[in-house]
Structure 1
Amino acid sequence: MTTKFTPEHEWINIEDHEAAVVGITLHAQDALGDVVFVDLPEVGRSYNRGEVSGVVESVKAAADIYMPVDGEVVEVNEALRADPALANRDPLGEGWFFKVRVGNMAQFDELMDAPAYDALLKTL
């Protein structure tokens, strides 16, 4: 399993050849505070990298979720829709947002690995 990160604080895991899992980082959920609502993308819809694919709202603010790579949404986390606080309790696990069939693996390869993302966080 390979995890990459975006400058907008999403993570993406390539689990298998079928789909990649997308969620928000620990930094993002810390900055947002208590998550109270998520607007997840529509299954079957295709997005371009950088396109807004969802929204997460907290007691502090709302933030867009950006698609990390070109691809088609193949599943959303209905448990997260029912219990948005999963994004706070387990943002890198049970609090995932959606799964996407990656349309361009070169875009995935261009994303930050964990050391590069940690370096970015030190500049914030």
Structure 2
Amino acid sequence: MTIKFSRDHEWINCADTNAAIVGITVHAQDALGDVVFVDLPEVGASFNQGDVAGVVESVKAAADVFMPVTGEIVEVNEALRNDPSLANSDPLNSGWFFKVKLSDVAQLDALLDETAYNDFAANA
């Protein structure tokens, strides 16, 4: 599994670059607290890297979900829409937000690996 992280606290599993999986990090869900609602993008929508692709709301706050790469949404996690708490209980697996078909695989190079992200998050 190849996971990269954005400075906006999203992760992307790019093991399959044709349909990479995106979610929020453990750090993000810890900071948000109990997630009560997610607004997921529409399948077929295209976003540029850094665009807001969704919203996650918790008992504490609402936060934007940013696109870590440019691409087209090919699937959303309906289970997460029905049970937003998955973003807390299993953020790196069943709590994923959407799958994206990458437009530019090279954008992955600018994202952080796990060690660099953990260092970044510790100082965020």
* TM bracket, shorter-chain basis: over 0.9
- Aligned 8 A contact 2:3 2:15 in 1: no
CA distance in 1, matches of 2:99, 2:81: 14
Give 1:10-49 correspondences, 5 Å limit. Answer: 10-49=10-49
Measured after TM superposition, the shift of residue 17 of structure 1 is 4.0
Tell me the C-alpha RMSD between the 2 structures. Answer: 0.8
Give 1:96-115 correspondences, 5 Å limit. Answer: 96-115=96-115
- One-letter amino acid of the structure 2 residue matched with residue 107 of structure 1: Q
- One-letter amino acid of the structure 2 residue matched with residue 51 of structure 1: D
Measured after TM superposition, the shift of residue 118 of structure 1 is 1.0
2:74 maps to which residue? 74
1:123 maps to which residue? 123
CA distance in 1, matches of 2:21, 2:89: 17
Identical residues among aligned pairs (%) = 67
- Aligned 8 A contact 2:17 2:105 in 1: no
TM value normalised by structure 2: 0.97
Instruction: Return 5+ residue gaps in structure 1 as ranges.
Output: none
Give the number of equivalent residue pairs. 124
1:19-68 Cα distance to aligned partner (Å, 9 max, x none): 00000000000000000000000100100000000000000000000000
TM value normalised by structure 1: 0.97
Instruction: Return 5+ residue gaps in structure 2 as ranges.
Output: none
CA distance in 2, matches of 1:6, 1:58: 21
